[in-house]
Structure 1
Amino acid sequence: MRGKLWFSVWVLFLWGSSFGRFVVEKNSLKVTSPESLKGTHECAIGNFGVPQYGGTMVGIVSYPKANRKACKSFDDFDISFKSKPGGFPTFLLLDRGDCYFTEKAWNAQNAGAAAILVADDKVENLITMDTPEQYSGGESYLQNITIPSALISKSFGDDLKKALENGDMVNVNLDWRESLPHPDERVEYEFWTNSNDECGPKCDSQIEFVKGFKGAAQVMEKKGYTQFTPHYITWYCPEPFIPSKQCKSQCINNGRYCAPDPEQDFTRGYEGRDVVIQNLHQVCVFKVANESGKPWLWWDYVTDFSIRCPMKEKKYTKECAKEVIQSLGIDLEKINKCVGDPDANEENPVLKAEQDAQIGKDSRGDVTILPTLVINNRQYRGKLDKGAVLKAICAGFQETTEPAVCLSEEIETNECLENNGGCWEDEAANITACRDTFRGRVCECPIVQGVKFVGDGYTHCKASGSGRCEINNGGCWKKTKDGKTYSACVDDGCKCPPGFKGDGVKTCEDVDECKEKIACQCSACKCKNTWGGYDCSCSGDLLYMQEHDACISKKATTEVGWSFLWVIFFGLAVAGIGAYVVYKYRIRSYMDSEIRAIMAQYMPLDNQGEAANHVLHGDI
């Protein structure tokens, strides 16, 4: 009976994906020596360990004399591949077969290998090396594999083995720089996951990843560096099996959306339909949070749900999900409307969209592995680890647009620290044209305190525009001596100041004005050169007049000065007396006119009286 049940389960799962298109993600391997093997080859990235997305690794290939399939510990054979100080890392060439790929990688890593190259044992297209589907309990090392792995073709593997047997030193360069697209300043990524927490180490690592990556994911999302979307895989039940117990226990909406039984045992624990319903809740949480402008709340919900509502404690319920939703301030009514009726014989638009999204488009293949990250429409390969995933996301930014977190020491190597990356540098002013990027470095003249430097970035950079003299004196000559400071920096370049001559950049030499007869040329003049200028003086009682370049007598100058003062004093006195005379004359004239006017009022003339009498008689 159990055999029939398992058969039904596998029919259920494979039906929805049997016509899918799986894409093998690749990186390149370049052989630099020997001459006979020089060239670039494709290899398939393993779905475990830490691929160096955005970077490269250089090493030498080694093919072990024993344990060539690496299914046993190399300690049993007293073999080590640890590199000596200053030596190249070892890329271990291994044969396929007899044990899991992950076991090969683990044994090679413990022996000191920096990467593994697994040679296929048959002629076929490259495949993706994946982790085991079933765990026997001894594979707890999976999350500790940190070296990258690659599958190479049988023919290429044979060529490498032959060269090594001939005693050739095989140098190779593993390159992941173009394994992920990096078109612009924003990375779009998807996380295909599941709310099930009872699927063994895979579920455990997925939950730990979400908890550990949440902070970085939310910061990048809030600042607009990334656009994140969670997704959930569901299958549909083949129509003949819809009435079966298996489909009813694993599906909702009449067999349209299904998930495997969490414990893979239909007689106990939660059912597949419970997983589908919780998946739907998580999709709706993101949908409602995104509509409110807070898509990052999904990370809080999934983290809190895994802590508060685990299957092991029998809390994996709609009621527990409701409590988590309300604690985060998300609109529960909108969530319930989004979830809809799981028992209705109709399509759920949210889950229908999820099933449509599973189908690969363009360069991305179908999503068939859980969990899966898709970065810039390309599937990520490697373990779910905060550092490894963050490194892959950083590889998706266009050069020089990555956020600061991508340039931290734990994520990438700063090429500007060694020999300044081969770029221009002004050590005195601590200014460099080397700009560290995730994939390497660029030599680009900088902008310092608002002042732009121009040049090729490799051999020279020069400050330009207004304010250029404030930055390292514009790259011009400058010197202080005898308490005086002179600079050759001017708005349009470098020019030695008056009193100096030179190129204005490296040198400005003092001009000897006395020797070159530029000043103090009168016969009585004495010239003394100074730094940046000169001093002129005259002998005896003579005084030097700079504007005339002449010497004149100090005594004569004094006499002329006092005479000039007496003339001024006398002129002022005459002017004062003249003004007083005019003043007295005007006052006297004014007083005479006033007296006459008063007398005219009180002593009228005779003819004025007669005229008055005549007028009187006429009236009578």
Structure 2
Amino acid sequence: MKLFVGFLVLILLSEIANGRFIVEKNSLRVTSPDSIRGTHDSAIGNFGIPQYGGSLAGNVVYPKDNRKGCKEFDGTPFKSKPGSLPTFVLVDRGDCFFALKVWNAQNAGASAVLVADDIEEPLITMDTPEEDSKNAEYIEKITIPSALIEKSFSETLKKAINDGEMVNVNLDWRDAVPHPDDRVEFELWTNSNDECGVKCDMLMEFVKDFKGAAQILEKGGYTQFTPHYITWYCPQAFTVSKQCKSQCINHGRYCAPDPEQDFSKGYEGKDVVIENLRQLCVFRVANESKKPWVWWDYVTDFQIRCPMKENKYNKECAEAVIKSLGLDLKNIEKCMGDPDADSENPVLKEEQDAQIGTGSRGDVTILPTLVVNNRQYRGKLEKGAILKAICSGFEETTEPAICLSGDVETNECLDNNGGCWQDKTANITACKDTFRGRVCECPMVDGVLFKGDGYSHCEASGPGRCKINNGGCWHDAKDNYTFSACVDVEGSKCQCPRGFKGDGVKSCEDVDECKEKKACQCPKCSCKNTWGSYECSCSGDLLYIRDHDTCISKRASDSKSAWTALWIILIGLAIAAGGAFLVYKYRLRSYMDSEIRAIMAQYMPLDSQQEVPNHINDELQHA
């Protein structure tokens, strides 16, 4: 089956073989020595970060050992010293991937790499290894520019270096992208498949990262962006085969490879074609409504909400994203047409025609591919590098502010709440503005955490949740009474309070306890229903006791209460009298003791006090 997929790819390649693969070039100017001064072409590598719109001067060195750069260099021999020119390392082609040569030189301190061709031929583009290569991880870490130079020119550089000359060159990317006016047209050839390995992961990360900048440029009228998707056709002889039916729509006219490269499981190629078509129509409908930048919102949200790994890559999930962004679903469906029709699809037919290169742009054969002002971008698919390439497409002095500043500030939450969940009643939103664009993430409000997907649902959770919009539960007030279905306990759901029944979220209805025979069941009871409760009364001279659901005599109750009160009063009086008697007895005894002690002290001293003067004898002596 994999062979069949490869066969379809060959059909695509043979179809565009008559077209052109254009090598994007930059200028390499030798400034010293004087004997070899001059300007030469060099082919920009399809990895690393070319300095679009700028130039870089450096000193060229040719290593004595490891001249093909396929092994790691010892230490950092190419790291330039403070105040000196950056080092450009010249390595020979052959024996290993272009990207590995550049990676090894970068780790050794090089600022740029020149690769010398080993045969006399027109310049080619240095590409990355296959996406499933074990070396793919380091490719994303390459940050220096590189270029391929012709064999004859490289021999001239090598001779000058071997003769002891100082070879200085200048790599210039200022004319790599045409810059005729104050608007830049750029297009991205992409794919909705998220199961194609390293390149798919890289593409998805780029779209998320670049969305904010792309929308700023588009909203300001500085750029005109167009997304594209590659498809191919199934040979007429195979249109009824199982393979073509699983990979193609419109009877074999538009195909995509099976995402897992296995026809027996997972999603099929036709699922990818249909979603690609839907994303094209999202752009067209958004463009008609004068908001083409909404395409970036749809693509990023679809990647997050509808991944293949979670089995959500389907029509239902896509339509939920479309509705959250306020797009016209009917117009999108009309644009997509019937995938089962035995006829051309105008949208996909236009895409196939656009794959063939025109003017200064070559054929599109690699995914992803970025085209700026009809020139294919070469280099790493990274926000800063792409922004440089786009900004180099503006006529001088017409660049927007985003090109002159490293900061991009957006507030996508102001427009349709960014397509995120919101509670207008409580003025709560899941939309958060960031440097890269908005994210839909359930918030925390007054210490209460909301949980959900952030797009269509957020719910208050944990202690205190009833304070925030009643926890999203039912609540109502009537006759000076307020009832709520919110239970302020972690993990609890909305639950109608006692006296009500319902789902607790949208409604709670009063329970008629009287009608359902849940109250006032005693023989002489009568029941009256109230909102959220009930009232019971007894006939005649009886009193209703609610806890026991019974009626008792009011007189018996009054008599019993009177006797109880009388006994309480009598007991209280007795206690008071006894207490008064004890106090009186204590004070009387204390008084008697003090008088006796005073009389006795006149005749004899007491141990506990000083001798009392004999006033009688004194009076007799003075008489």
1:453-602 alignment, distance < 5 Å: none
Q: Is 1:87 matched with 2:87?
A: no
Whole-Å separation in 1 of the counterparts to 2:243 and 2:218: 40
Q: Is 1:70 matched with 2:50?
A: no
Tell me the residue number matched to 1:17. Answer: 16
Tell me the residue number matched to 1:403. Answer: 400
Which stretch has the larger CA shift, 383-392 or 240-249?
A: 240-249
Whole-Å separation in 1 of the counterparts to 2:294 and 2:274: 19
Whole-Å separation in 2 of the counterparts to 1:19 and 1:261: 26
Equivalent in 230, 233, 240 of residue 230 of structure 2: 233
2:131–2:198 contact (8 Å) kept in structure 1:
no
Q: Is 1:103 matched with 2:100?
A: yes
Equivalent in 243, 251, 262 of residue 246 of structure 1: 243
Whole-Å separation in 1 of the counterparts to 2:260 and 2:97: 24
2:190–2:230 contact (8 Å) kept in structure 1:
yes
Q: Is 1:381 matched with 2:410?
A: no
Tell me the residue number matched to 1:169. Answer: 166
Tell me the residue number matched to 1:592. Answer: none
Equivalent in 111, 114, 125 of residue 114 of structure 1: 111
Tell me the residue number matched to 1:33. Answer: 32
Question: Could you report, residue by residue, the CA deviation over 1:31-54 in whole angstroms, capped at 9, with x for unpaired residues?
Answer: 011122111000100111111011
Tell me the residue number matched to 1:524. Answer: none
Runs of at least 5 residues in structure 1 that lack an aligned partner in the other structure: 412-620
TM-score when normalising by structure 2: 0.64
1:115–1:148 contact (8 Å) kept in structure 2:
yes
2:8–2:234 contact (8 Å) kept in structure 1:
no
Tell me the residue number matched to 2:318. Answer: 321
Classify the secondary structure of the residue corresponding to 1:144: coil
Whole-Å separation in 2 of the counterparts to 1:359 and 1:297: 27
1:42–1:152 contact (8 Å) kept in structure 2:
yes
Tell me the residue number matched to 1:532. Answer: none
2:229–2:276 contact (8 Å) kept in structure 1:
yes
Tell me the residue number matched to 1:43. Answer: 42
Whole-Å separation in 2 of the counterparts to 1:272 and 1:259: 5
Shift of the 348–409 alpha-carbon distance from structure 1 to 2, 3 Å rule, reads closer
Tell me the residue number matched to 1:282. Answer: 279
Identity among equivalent pairs (%): 71
Whole-Å separation in 1 of the counterparts to 2:148 and 2:242: 42
Classify the secondary structure of the residue corresponding to 2:40: strand
Question: Could you report, residue by residue, the CA deviation over 1:500-549 in whole angstroms, capped at 9, with x for unpaired residues?
Answer: xxxxxxxxxxxxxxxxxxxxxxxxxxxxxxxxxxxxxxxxxxxxxxxxxx
Tell me the residue number matched to 1:144. Answer: 141
Shift of the 364–173 alpha-carbon distance from structure 1 to 2, 3 Å rule, reads same
Tell me the residue number matched to 1:195. Answer: 192
1:260–1:272 contact (8 Å) kept in structure 2:
yes
2:2–2:262 contact (8 Å) kept in structure 1:
no
Tell me the residue number matched to 1:264. Answer: 261
2:44–2:148 contact (8 Å) kept in structure 1:
yes
**One-letter amino acid of the counterpart of residue 22, structure 2:** V
1:284–1:335 contact (8 Å) kept in structure 2:
yes
Whole-Å separation in 1 of the counterparts to 2:184 and 2:300: 23
Tell me the residue number matched to 2:178. Answer: 181
Shift of the 170–227 alpha-carbon distance from structure 1 to 2, 3 Å rule, reads same
**One-letter amino acid of the counterpart of residue 43, structure 1:** S
1:71–1:98 contact (8 Å) kept in structure 2:
yes
Shift of the 4–214 alpha-carbon distance from structure 1 to 2, 3 Å rule, reads closer
Whole-Å separation in 1 of the counterparts to 2:406 and 2:338: 50
TM-score when normalising by structure 1: 0.64
Q: Is 1:217 matched with 2:209?
A: no
**One-letter amino acid of the counterpart of residue 7, structure 2:** S
Equivalent in 387, 391, 402 of residue 390 of structure 1: 387
Classify the secondary structure of the residue corresponding to 1:135: coil
2:5–2:257 contact (8 Å) kept in structure 1:
no
Shift of the 312–13 alpha-carbon distance from structure 1 to 2, 3 Å rule, reads farther
Tell me the residue number matched to 2:530. Answer: none
Shift of the 374–6 alpha-carbon distance from structure 1 to 2, 3 Å rule, reads closer
Classify the secondary structure of the residue corresponding to 2:340: coil
Tell me the residue number matched to 1:486. Answer: none
Whole-Å separation in 2 of the counterparts to 1:179 and 1:299: 27
Whole-Å separation in 2 of the counterparts to 1:12 and 1:267: 23
1:59–1:91 contact (8 Å) kept in structure 2:
yes
Cα deviation, residue 20, structure 1: 2.3
Shift of the 219–57 alpha-carbon distance from structure 1 to 2, 3 Å rule, reads same
1:16–1:235 contact (8 Å) kept in structure 2:
no
1:15–1:238 contact (8 Å) kept in structure 2:
no
Cα deviation, residue 3, structure 1: 6.5
Classify the secondary structure of the residue corresponding to 1:231: strand
Whole-Å separation in 2 of the counterparts to 1:256 and 1:140: 36
Report how many aligned residue pairs link the two structures.
Answer: 408
Tell me the residue number matched to 1:54. Answer: 53
2:26–2:175 contact (8 Å) kept in structure 1:
yes
Question: Could you report, residue by residue, the CA deviation over 1:305-350 in whole angstroms, capped at 9, with x for unpaired residues?
Answer: 0000111111111111111111111000011111111111100000
Whole-Å separation in 2 of the counterparts to 1:204 and 1:154: 36
Whole-Å separation in 1 of the counterparts to 2:295 and 2:9: 31
Classify the secondary structure of the residue corresponding to 1:213: helix
Tell me the residue number matched to 1:358. Answer: 355
Whole-Å separation in 2 of the counterparts to 1:88 and 1:170: 11
Shift of the 238–324 alpha-carbon distance from structure 1 to 2, 3 Å rule, reads same
Classify the secondary structure of the residue corresponding to 2:267: coil
**One-letter amino acid of the counterpart of residue 41, structure 1:** H
CA RMSD between the two structures: 1.5
